[in-house]
Amino acid sequence: GVATLLLAAPVLAAGLAISPPTVEFDVPADGSAEVEFLVYDFTGDLEISLEDIPLRVEPTTVPVTAKEEGTKVVLAFYGDESLGAQVFNGKIRFLALTGGTVAMGIKVRATINHIAAGPLEEAPAPTEESMPEEAPIPAEQAPAPPTPAPATSLPVPPVPAPERATEFPIVPVAGIAAGLAIVITLIVVFGRRLRH
């Protein structure tokens, strides 16, 4: 019956937290910068991509294991000399994958100062809320520039207060809805039998 169906369904990730919730850092156009994040309450693969930031990030997939003190994830951001000096306001998207399926996601707001010779131009700022938010499932990943630039390190220390993303678990909700439909059907059937 219904109980067997619910027990056979896969369990989704219980939670995901990423610290810091916002970052600001410099990336040289002819180099790279490293930024450190702490991931909490999740075991599986994190798929990493950028939104409204036309730079390349590596790695794009990171395996993490839930630890009390968090799992350190270091991302490298590569500059692009063709973009010139700009400030990019966008998001770093972390999608939590369990069993190859996106369970939930977090977007970390990022301000990146792309440092190059020449005048500084402010990139248009997206008009969205300023806190991390649930990430949509991407249809495709943004294309990466063809060649990496030489690496230089500019570590940014993590802030200890993680933001938590919660997603409404689909399997229990579907089970409750199915159970409710069965109960309503039984009430209607017994109600008709009692009238006849």
Q: What is the pTM of this model?
A: 0.56
pLDDT mean over 58-65? 93
Residue 155 has pLDDT above 60, yes or no: no
The pLDDT of residue 54: 96
The pLDDT of residue 97: 86
Domains of the chain: 15-165 (2.60.40.10)
The pLDDT of residue 57: 96
Minimum mean pLDDT range among 63-67, 135-139, 176-180, 190-194: 135-139
9 or 145: which leads in pLDDT: 145
Furthest CA-CA distance within the chain: 88
163 closest CA partner among 130, 137, 131, 135: 131
Residue 77 has pLDDT above 60, yes or no: yes
**If DSSP codes are grouped into helix, strand and coil, which group holds residue 27?**
strand
Residue 160 has pLDDT above 70, yes or no: no
Strands in the chain per DSSP E: 16-19, 22-28, 32-40, 44-51, 56-58, 61-64, 71-78, 86-98, 101-115, 121-122, 163-165
CA distance 72 to 158: 9
pLDDT mean over 153-182? 54
pLDDT mean over 37-47? 90
